[in-house]
Structure 1
Amino acid sequence: MKFNKLTIENYKSFQYPTAIDFPQSSEGKSIFLIGGMNGAGKTSIMEAINICLYGAKTDFLYKYINRKELAKGNAFVSFELELETDEHETILINRSWSAGATDSPKHKDLTEKLVVVKNGKRVSVQNKEMWQDYINATIPKGITQFFFFDGEKIQEIAADDHSEVRLKSSLEAALGIQYISRLSSDVLYLKQEERKGFVEITDEDITFKESELKKEQRKLTNKTQERDDLSEELERFKSDKEEAQTRFKAIFNLDPESSEVIKQKEKKRIQLSNKSNQLDNQIKNLTEQHLPWALAGKLFDDVKQQINLESQSKKQNAISENAVALAQKIVENFDTPEPITSAPLTASQKEKLHQRVLGLLQENKSADEVVKILNLSDRDTAKVLNKIEEIEQSDVLQLEDLIKEKSELDFEIRSIQASLETSGTTDSEKELFEELQSTIEGSNTQIGRLSVRLSNCNEELVHIENKIKEIELEIGKLYDKHNFSKEKVDFIEECDAIANLMTTYMVKLRKNKVHLLQEKTFEMYKMLSSKSGLIKDLEIDNKTYEITIRDKSGHTMRKSGLSAGEKEVFALSLLWGLAQTSQLNLPIIIDTPLSRLDSIHRDNIVNHYFPNAANQVIILSTDTEVDNNYFKNLEPHLTGAASLEFSQNNELTTVKEGYFWN
């Protein structure tokens, strides 16, 4: 696989769509050098490839959207990668995020859009997970750290004596061992799932289930007989009850009643009698307290009207009788203590005022003289009115309703008493009455008891019948399972055999892969090391991936015992050996790989590692790493070069063709 072109838009200092082409030689190899000063955007290129392939979280992307565009409200970022597969198919992946027309956009407003174009034709990406699975299968994310790496990754591997152990799962993924392990686990999972629904069926299992069926069938026969006996007994009691009821009606000309009904009637008679007695007492109290007054109830309205007329007349006459004195007093006080008018009234004016006031006061005199029949004082008037109100608010006026209610109660009591008395008068008739009543009541009791038992019996019958059906179905399934039980056993045994075979294969594959890894790693180390004779041999444990280094004397030495340059060279050799052993034809992208190395190691890496690292190598370097001299050594192997130019004033990165000096 090779990358053909990368386009970045609105990410960090790449404000405008910026494209970088990765040309190939006629032999299909590609070594492309990208130069840039610190902060110019070299790391952004590696990040852009990873984001385009695997996506990213919106909070991370939002933080690195170009600040100028984000200030304009343009919350948009886009990455596009064109690659060529080993099958010579061209795939273009465009992954972008946009907040749309949103005021003050936030990271949560970003929406991802994925476009995939295969061989010039856009394909459906409605199922993004499917395409992401395809990308992950083509370029596994877990192993890209060994193909896309920077100086920090080299340092991580170089600085720790046990870094390989910590990277075991990633190393196994890169070597292809992880897939065999997963396949083996999947086979064992299939076996476990098959076991969940599988029980080996024997002849004894079927015999046991058939004996269980016979037991339930016997229970069904016994329960059916019990139901028939109960039904027969129930019908007999119903017949006895019906016969007793017929005789009772023929002899006494009454419908028979149960003792419970008779008790209820007697209880009701007593209740009604008590209520009738209460009404009696209430009627007596009313007649004793208020009846004499109540007899005059029809005169109450006339009395109240006469009292009102006499009272009004009395008030009006009181004013008229004192009119002369009142008029004189008003005139005398007109000018006293001081005149109301500007000058005191004359005698003539006072006389006119006196006559006018006197006329007004005498207008209130009653035109018709009211005949005083009662002629009560104010105190006696209040007493009479209070007594009338007391009588009107008492229950005496309801006396008629109470008498009527008592009459109805007494009639109902007599009816109940009549129904409780037998028509027979002789002792023999009474004895027969009680005998028939007892027969009817006894039959009712037995009918109720037998009905409950019969209902329970029918429920048990339904339960037994359902149980028999379930067992019959189980027996049928047992016969079916019995036929392919051996097939299942064979399948499970085959799963075990396949899983064991894969385990054996995985052990051998790991051993061979690890052996090849140590050979390839040591091969590159000898080419890159300035002290190739320092290490005589190295060994990688095929279970733990622990690396053991031996010096020229055969003594074991720690990786931490190497110089800083030797450790980095060793880490770079391990990465190269891993790429060679994995047989994954992926591009290698290296960011600032030479910053911590001396000149000898740099010479070896430029002359031996870069040209042989992979079919496609993308190098991201500063001018002090691949300087003018190293560039001249590397230039014959290059298929192209570019420079990242960063404008401090505009905070903008642009791409220029050619390296710093060409």
Structure 2
Amino acid sequence: MIFLELVLQNFGPYNGRQVINLDPKIKDNACPILLLGGMNGGGKTTLMDAIRLALYGHRAQCSTRGNLSYGDFLTQCVNSHTPANDKTRIELVFEHIENDQPVKYRIVRTWERNPKDGKDNLGILGDDDTWPVEALVNIWDEYIENLLPLGISNLFLFDGEQVKELAEQEIPPPMVVDAIRALLGLELAERLAGDIDILVNRKRKEIADKQELENLEEIEQKLKQLQDEHKIETQKFVFLQKELQLAEKSQAIAIDKFISEGGKIAAERSQLDKLKEERTTEAEQIRKAMCELAGDVLTLVLIQPLLSQVQAQGEKEFRLRQARMARDILLERDKRLLELISNLNIAKEQVDKIKAFLAEDEQMQNSSSLKEELWLLADDEALSQLGNVIYYLQNAKISAKQQLAILKTKEEEIIGLERQVQTAASPEEYNKLRDAMQAAQKKVAEVKADCETTRRRLVELETAIEKLKKDLQEYTKQTLDRKNIEHIIVASARVQETLKLFRERLTLRKLNKLENEVTECFRYLLHKSDLVHRIAIDTNTFSLSLYNSQGKSVPKHRLSAGEKQLLAIAFLWGLARVSGRRLPVAIDTPLGRLDSSHRSNLVERYFPSASHQVILLSTDTEIGKKEVQTLRDNEAIAREYLLKYDSSTRQTTVIENKYFW
């Protein structure tokens, strides 16, 4: 199957009629890639929705549909500049092989704003685009299911958000699980099991009497009502989960705004005022203590140099007095010594030498320093008290410096608190911020409560449904006894067991092949070829387990964000390869959070090999100048388009043969 052309007329941001040639052949040379570049919000995802809508109509899983009815969704897709009488139109031309011959069809869907009966008009045109194929219109859903089943379409038409979701979750999301079941053929076996249940119930009705039939129909009617209610509650639960995500996002925005615009500080204003008052009191106490210190001895700091000089002079005079006393004692001793020598029989020459020595010594002692005048005349006690005063004054000076430092710190804290109070929101603005935050929190709480209530109701319904099924089975076993019908019922039970065993064995066989394909794809995309040796897939949850060459488990959290994304792409690629279907691949925003090496592997290895036709919808930061040049050098690109979005008119124009570079 190959997409050849996509036509959009008044669809989404595409005003008027715009034609995109998707044929990957250029002069008989097949280049698989068709590159469409556009900025975020420029209409890339709209192109993917258009392809899905053309193929599947009301069953299409489009990105912006949500819980809208099909009619409301079609109205939403009408371009805002479309005249009232003009129609919105989507055309998708594709080619595939039928009876060993190429066949071309053009799918045409048209509608007006607020379409009648909430439906579009479907037309299928043949090879020459002129005559309609009415037979296909009536059975189109069954026909396209044979070519590209809706269940596995997400393996071939996927976007970066799907890859991101698959990469971040331990268990694949329900959309991928459904695709896996469809791919493995489990849907057919489960459908067969359901058909057997229907057959058994019909046979039970055939052998039941009137009262038994009424009881049986009552149980079946109640079971149907509960199943319908379960379906509605499931849809409601999905909607509430999405609403909860939006409410939590709004709550986060309100809290951030409350904090950033001073709401938090305003809420703590009383605490700040109290803290400021405490710091002010402490500062006043320090000032009072410093005043007391200044009134005691600290004023003497002003004459501290004079006091030091007085102390030095006192000590000097004390030493001078001691020196004079020592001199007087020595003179008295010399006098007595001379008297003693005069009475001794010593030669006059020797006595003269002794007298000369003593005279010289006396002259040395009578130096000028001993003649200095004493004016302070301080006694020892006064000098000691003066030393104590100077020592105490030094300690007081140190204490005053410490008190000043503490006072400075307190004053800085007071200034900081005043600034915080000044940045706080006004009472009116604070009330607005607080009310907005409380409203967002209340909304989250209400939606959470609704979610929990709906979840509990779902559990109750599931329990009641299982009980009714069991009652239905027990009821029929006890009341119905006709042999031929019993034979069918018993045989059906054996068939059910066989189908269960068949599903298990089929799952194991297909999963083994899928494991090999996913492992091969991942190792081919990953530049660390020794990181993962084997990938195993759980038979129940379809979650992935990684193992190295020694057979030891490799935790998924060891992979980088880019490696997880490559693993998700390898998983989708492996599923597509196992499907055995030759189908186009369309990828919206494909590169995400990949680093340069992983991005290079994806560009060089995956895109050219993903399929015979690969439609890439990319921004300028994903497939940049380097990546697009690589694809061009490898002659992998068949056609290039630029989706030029005009923000003033909110319209997108498709420019052919042009990319960002």
TM-score w.r.t. the length of structure 2 is 0.50
TM-score (norm 1): 0.50
Q: Mark the structure with the bigger radius of gyration.
A: 1
